[in-house]
């Protein structure tokens, strides 16, 4: 059974995963939601104006009223720059499964922040929420995201053809990854 505890602050060596705030709106717009290099790997199109982002951030902030809402802003400890977001969603109470998604601003790609972030949220999901299975997917034309998933111990389970349609109307194949609680516990016990 899932044990919901909302969105507590999580810390890693270099990052603080924290609740987003309304005053993050401009940074969220500037650093990833308006960037087409990032939206090309998301279902939703790049935001054209900060009002779109304001509405989205308002929805996120209001979600924190629920213990079943798990949505973090990714902040650097050094300088306190907000660089991305990560969330757990689509909780299935019957199976104890859910999905994870993340976005990191282009200027912070290939610096290990994605792996560090996902590792912290995977630990939170399996240890604190008693999750049974965590799933994620990425467009096959974004293999770097798959490497992040593999580094935290997720295994590719298959490819779903034309799983999403992006804002440009292009269908994209997605690689689907998963990790079971017992796999996580086994890795942790082995010191991996």
Q: Is residue 117 part of a domain?
A: yes
pLDDT of the residue at 49: 96
d(CA 182, CA 26): 40
Structurally, how many domains does the chain consist of? Answer: 1
Q: What is the distance between the alpha carbons of residues 109 and 120, in angstroms, rounded to a whole number?
A: 18
Task: Find the domain containing 174 and state its range.
Answer: 10-189
Tens of pLDDT, residues 133-191: 999 999 999 999 999 999 999 999 999 999 988 777 889 999 999 999 999 998 877 67
Q: Supply the CATH number for residue 33's domain.
A: 3.40.630.30
pLDDT bracket for residue 192 (50, 70, 90): low
Q: Tens digit of pLDDT for each residue in 61-113?
A: 999 999 999 999 999 999 889 999 999 999 999 999 999 999 999 999 999 99
- 95: exposed, middle or buried (Cβ count in 10 Å: 0-12, 13-18, 19+): exposed
Let me know if residue 91 belongs to a domain. yes
Q: Evaluate whether residue 4 is within a structural domain.
A: no
Question: Helices marked H in the chain — which ranges?
Answer: 25-28, 36-39, 50-63, 113-123, 143-151, 181-189
Per DSSP, the residues of 104-119 read E-GGGTTSSHHHHHHH
1 in any annotated domain: no
Whether 161 maps to a domain, the answer reads yes
pLDDT at 60: 98
Domain membership flag for residue 83: yes
Residue in the block written with tokens 């104006």? 49
pLDDT at 120 over 90: yes
Answer yes or no: is 142 within a domain. Answer: yes
Answer yes or no: is 2 within a domain. Answer: no
């Amino acid at each position: 059974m899932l044990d919901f505890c909302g969105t507590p602050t999580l810390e890693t060596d270099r990052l603080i995963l924290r609740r987003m705030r309304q005053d993050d709106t401009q940074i969220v717009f500037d650093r990833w939601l308006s960037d087409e290099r990032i939206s090309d790997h998301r279902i939703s199109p790049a935001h054209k104006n900060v009002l779109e982002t304001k509405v989205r951030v308002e929805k996120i902030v209001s979600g924190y009223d629920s213990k079943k809402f798990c949505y973090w802003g990714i902040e650097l400890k050094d300088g306190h720059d907000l660089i991305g977001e990560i969330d757990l969603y689509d909780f299935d109470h019957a199976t104890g499964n859910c999905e994870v998604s993340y976005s990191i601003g282009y200027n912070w790609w290939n610096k290990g922040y994605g792996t560090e972030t996902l590792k912290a949220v995977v630990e939170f999901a399996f240890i604190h929420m008693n999750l049974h299975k965590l799933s994620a997917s990425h467009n096959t034309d974004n293999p770097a995201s798959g490497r992040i998933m593999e580094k935290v111990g997720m295994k590719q389970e298959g490819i779903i053809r034309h799983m999403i349609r992006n804002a440009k109307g292009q269908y994209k194949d997605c690689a689907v990854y998963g990790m079971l609680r017992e796999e996580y516990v086994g890795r942790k016990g082995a010191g991996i």
